[in-house]
Structure 1
Amino acid sequence: MPETQPVRETISEAEERFERIRRTTGLFLAPALFLLIYFWPMPGLKPQAHTLAAVMAFTITCWITECIPIPVASLLGPTLAVVFGVAGAKEAYTAMADPTVLLFLGGFVLAKAMEVHGLDRRFALRILSLGSVSRTSTMILLGVGGVTCFLSMWLSNTATAAMMFPITMGVLLALNRIIASMHGREVNNSKYQTGMLLMIAYAASIGGMGTPIGTPPNMITIGLIEKATGLRIAFFQWMMLAVPIMLLMFLVMWVYFNWRCPSIQKDLKGAADFIATERKALGTWKRGEANALIAFLVAVALWVTPGVIALVSGTTSPLFKAYNNIFPEASVALIAASLLFFLPVNFQQREFTLSWKQAVNIDWGTLLLFGGGLSLGEMMFKTGLAEAMGKGLVSMTGAHTLLAITALGQLVAILLTETTSNTAAATMVVPVVIGIASAAGVNPIPPAVAAGLGASMAFVLPVSTPPNAIVYGSGMVPITQMVKYGFLLDVIGYFLVLAGVLILTPLVGL
């Protein structure tokens, strides 16, 4: 029987037209807003805060419209702040080497090593081959989504989706052959295909919530909370808060797609053959894979240890404080990343686990966005702009309780992240939410965390996040289906995250 290809849908050109209009608009709107705000009288603001408001309007417009590359806009924002006297150069650019940025730098290098040596693919295929995962359409959906969710806790959402996409396409192709052989003809199973591909995209975003390094908004949130309150949320502490929310959202999504996108054939025993063939093609473990795993486990162990110490002896114990002074999270990431350049693959030829030529291909743009966002966020606190915006929004919306401010911050983050990058959304919303909470006299941490997690809930549009774009580009996910399923998941996720944050933050000491 000939190979049965997945059923594809025609890709609309509407997205391409929208992108052109969006970017062209931004080229004119960004400078216009800057000039309008800069020259508009604002007697209630200090001069530096007034100028920073104009700079923020320019930068945010560039982020949303992408009229210039987002990393360039992230550098230009602090630069304009220096040029127009908001801050000195040292103050504005210090954030580029903030521990948050260095933590992600180390995480990116670790992820690159796993990608170069295929360790991420070996993990994925191994989990998919466990037990009964590949025997029914329901369990395959759970397995593919679960692997994506787990890997996205440690790798970038985009890299995880990009790796899982071809594996999933292969699984779908095998399933189509199995179903066709059972029915004696080709059968349209496009609804299940759409559900599985959306499962990859959404699981990548949901999984990123689980750890501080899972996705940039998490570290943006942690960094801005520390700058505003002086409190540093520990790696394990974030996991205790975010992992239960992540797991609940994932399970709800799995049940939802099983209900809305069922396969026409539930029993799919033959899928195991495809996964077994793919695993066999990987061969035995190679030195590079083992070395990458060693570095990864070193990082995870050192990151989790403070949480274990805190559970045993408390956060005020001398051991806990000493450990955090010696092994702050950024240092752990850099130590583990540096190991990759010491662990040999072939010592005789002086070949090590990772070369600089390979490492240099990490996502530097996201690091620049981190640095620029942290710089602007810190200036918002120091100039009083965040507090002024917070008071204004409290007055406009009437939000003055913890519940109202948390709900408002998360809602704004979700709305923004559908049209701009999740990092930019977090950078825009989190400092303002902290300002609102401070103005209202409530604990700013739950609203900030809810906004940070809300920035990862980009489920509606292909342009919302790269994982969405990856599966949309397959031609098997019509935009109408993504909007329909994604909108409902946004609504469900909104209430799950809101309730989870309000319940769990006090339980983990926040």
Structure 2
Amino acid sequence: MKTYLKYILPIFIPLIILLIPASSFAIEGLTLVEQRVIAIFVMATLCWVLEPIPIYATSVAIIVLELLIISDKGLWFTKFDSPELGQLVDHKTIMATFASPIIMLFLGGFFLAMAATKYRLDVNLARVLLKPFGHSPKYVMLGLMMITAVFSMFMSNTATTAMMLSILTPVLALFAREDMGKVAFALSVPVAANIGGIGTPIGTPPNAVALKYLINENNIRFGEWMLFAVPFVIVMLLIAWLLLIKLFPASKTEIKLNIKGRFLKTPKAITVYVVFIITILLWLMGGVHGMNAYVVAMIPVAVFSMLKIITKEDLKKISWDVLWLVSGGLRLVLH
């Protein structure tokens, strides 16, 4: 019975609201449009929690339902002319969510992350940056967490975790089965990735959503966000590190990270390095050149596409489900 409910409940609520004609009595204090938005919100929440369909499909369903029942080009029986029932939304505004500046910001971040991985910039940076931390397990773990947090500021948390765990896998094999240090190292990467995501507007979707609404006198530039957030990242990272080494002390006294590789020197690889650096600098110096983070994010998209650094095959690997998921969430927030 429970299995059936997870499919029936999310469909049942919006179906009822769809059947409410435009002339129906609205709930006191709410317009008919607001009632319909609430119904869509409840449906989306149930779908995201119960997962009768993929979570990204729920986001698409949100936009389609809004087009059908609260837009000026929706179903004929959902339309009305009475101001008391609310104001129908322009269908172009709803559909524009798929091309919201936030979506473009994430797309630029995905292009940077994909190019960095494709030309091994991420692995080589990790190799170079981990050298100063020596061979003591607790300090190697600190270095690993710091690098993971930095990567996570400009890449998705999931992609950063996957990359760093692939580097860490051979190291985990060095620990004895009963050594709790293995647990600390395994946990350190996802913990650091989540903490690092706070550091920039593109580190995690909630940051970008917040940035969209910080406008006019409350406007925060990319660099200003980092100036405010990075100190929090550093403090939380140190606290997490201390907790991990305290709760899961390592028995092994020395470990060696054997990360092989070298920086590629091909024209395309050098282009990736240069564009990566320039993009980050432009994000940090928004007050100097006048471009906002959304405009800067399109630079790597254009350059990598024109020079075939990111090909059509690579495009298939972009996390489109994440972009759709953010789009649906934006539509709910906008109401």
TM-score (norm. length: structure 2): 0.85
Matched, 1:243 2:199: no
Residue in 2 that maps onto 1:455 = none
**Matched position secondary structure for 1:341:** helix
* CA-CA distance at 1:360 after TM superposition: 3.5
* CA-CA distance at 1:25 after TM superposition: 4.3
Residue in 1 that maps onto 2:8 = 28
Matched, 1:366 2:322: yes
User: Is the contact made by 2:48 and 2:55 (CA closer than 8 Å) also made in structure 1?
Assistant: yes
Within 5 A, what are the aligned runs for 1:377-456?
377-378=333-334, 380=335
Change (3 A) 1:194 1:24: farther
* CA-CA distance at 1:362 after TM superposition: 0.7
Residue in 2 that maps onto 1:328 = 292
User: Is the contact made by 1:51 and 1:84 (CA closer than 8 Å) also made in structure 2?
Assistant: yes
Partners in 2 of 1:32 and 1:284 — Cα distance? 56
* CA-CA distance at 1:376 after TM superposition: 2.2
Partners in 2 of 1:285 and 1:79 — Cα distance? 45
Change (3 A) 1:32 1:154: same
Letter in 1 for 2:43: F
Change (3 A) 1:199 1:36: farther
* CA-CA distance at 1:236 after TM superposition: 1.2
**Matched position secondary structure for 1:208:** helix
Matched, 1:285 2:264: yes
TM-score (norm. length: structure 1): 0.57
User: Is the contact made by 1:93 and 1:375 (CA closer than 8 Å) also made in structure 2?
Assistant: no
Partners in 2 of 1:153 and 1:355 — Cα distance? 24
Aligned with 1:341 (options 278, 298, 305): 305
Aligned with 1:220 (options 209, 217, 226): 209
Aligned with 1:195 (options 176, 184, 204): 184
User: Is the contact made by 1:236 and 1:303 (CA closer than 8 Å) also made in structure 2?
Assistant: yes
* CA-CA distance at 1:233 after TM superposition: 2.5
**Deviation beyond 4 Å, 4+ runs, structure 1:** 35-41
Unaligned runs of 5+ in 2: 71-87
Residue in 2 that maps onto 1:45 = 30
* CA-CA distance at 1:88 after TM superposition: 3.2
What CA RMSD, in Å, does the superposition of the two structures yield over aligned residues? Answer: 2.2
* CA-CA distance at 1:225 after TM superposition: 4.3
* CA-CA distance at 1:24 after TM superposition: 5.6
User: Is the contact made by 1:224 and 1:377 (CA closer than 8 Å) also made in structure 2?
Assistant: no
Aligned with 2:66 (options 81, 93, 103): 81
User: Is the contact made by 1:189 and 1:263 (CA closer than 8 Å) also made in structure 2?
Assistant: no
Letter in 1 for 2:242: V
User: Is the contact made by 2:144 and 2:189 (CA closer than 8 Å) also made in structure 1?
Assistant: yes
Change (3 A) 1:245 1:284: closer
Percentage of identical aligned residues: 29
Residue in 2 that maps onto 1:115 = 117
Within 5 A, what are the aligned runs for 1:132-211?
133-173=133-173, 175-176=174-175, 187-211=176-200
Q: After superposition, what is the alpha-carbon deviation per residue over 1:327-374, rounded to whole angstroms, capped at 9, x for unaligned?
A: 22222111122222345xxxxxxxx43223213321111111222221
Letter in 2 for 1:108: F
Letter in 2 for 1:154: F
Change (3 A) 1:192 1:25: farther
Q: After superposition, what is the alpha-carbon deviation per residue over 1:67-100, rounded to whole angstroms, capped at 9, x for unaligned?
A: 2112211111121122112523212111211111
User: Is the contact made by 2:97 and 2:330 (CA closer than 8 Å) also made in structure 1?
Assistant: yes
Residue in 2 that maps onto 1:486 = none
Higher RCO (CA 8 Å, separation ≥ 6 residues) = 2
Q: After superposition, what is the alpha-carbon deviation per residue over 1:250-294, rounded to whole angstroms, capped at 9, x for unaligned?
A: 11000111111111133x1xx33x42xx33xx2452324322111
Residue in 1 that maps onto 2:277 = 297
User: Is the contact made by 2:221 and 2:292 (CA closer than 8 Å) also made in structure 1?
Assistant: no
